[in-house]
Structure formats: C-alpha cells, structure tokens
C-alpha cells in the first residue's frame, strides 16, 4: 500500500471512531441525566480508574498504556462536560 491507500484507510477508521465516540457520548449523556435526577456526582474518580484499567487490559498495541491513558483522559473530560450540561429528563 502507498501513502494514499493508508490515508484512505485512516479516513475510514476515523469515521468508525467518530461513530463510536458519538455512541459513547449518548450513553454518557443518559448517565448524566440519571446523575442529575439522583443528585449524584458527575466526577467519579473510582469509575474513571476502572475505565482506565479496562482500556489498558484491552490494549493490543502499538499504543503504550501511557499513550492510551492520555487519550482516555481527554475522552473522560469531554464526557464529564457533556454530563454537566445534560438537561434532566
């Protein structure tokens, strides 16, 4: 494969990632609504550590655990932000 082929592959992968992130965001939004109704804290450090542990166990590489955690820290930041602005259902 040449660079153009690899870039086309990356474009397709990016579309899949965006779709999965959107699904994750919908789930986080629903959880945010439940948390607001029950007055639960949006920030749950124990849950975040469990997510990090789970993704590290799921990591086939070539990303290092540290690189993967950097990505997931940002994902979790964005998901918390979504939960904070979720209107109660």
Residue 51: the pLDDT is 97
Identify the pLDDT of residue 88: 61
pTM of the model: 0.88
Give Cβ neighbours of residue 73 (< 8 Å, ≥ 6 apart): none
Average pLDDT along the chain, 89 residues, taken 10 residues at a time: 97 98 97 94 96 97 98 97 80
CA dist., res. 49 & res. 59, Å (int): 15
* Predicted pLDDT of residue 65: 97
Instruction: Please tell me the predicted confidence (pLDDT) of residue 89.
Output: 54
**Which residues lie closer than 8 Å to 35 by C-beta, 6 or more apart?**
41, 42, 83
């Amino acid at each position: 494969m040449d660079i153009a082929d690899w870039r086309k592959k990356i474009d397709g992968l990016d579309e899949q990632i965006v779709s999965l992130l959107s699904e994750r965001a919908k789930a986080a939004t629903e959880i945010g609504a439940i948390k607001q109704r029950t007055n639960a804290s949006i920030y749950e450090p124990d849950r975040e550590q469990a997510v990090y542990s789970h993704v590290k166990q799921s990591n086939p590489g070539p990303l290092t655990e540290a690189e993967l955690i950097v990505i997931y820290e940002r994902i979790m930041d964005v998901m918390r932000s979504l939960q904070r602005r979720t209107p109660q259902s």
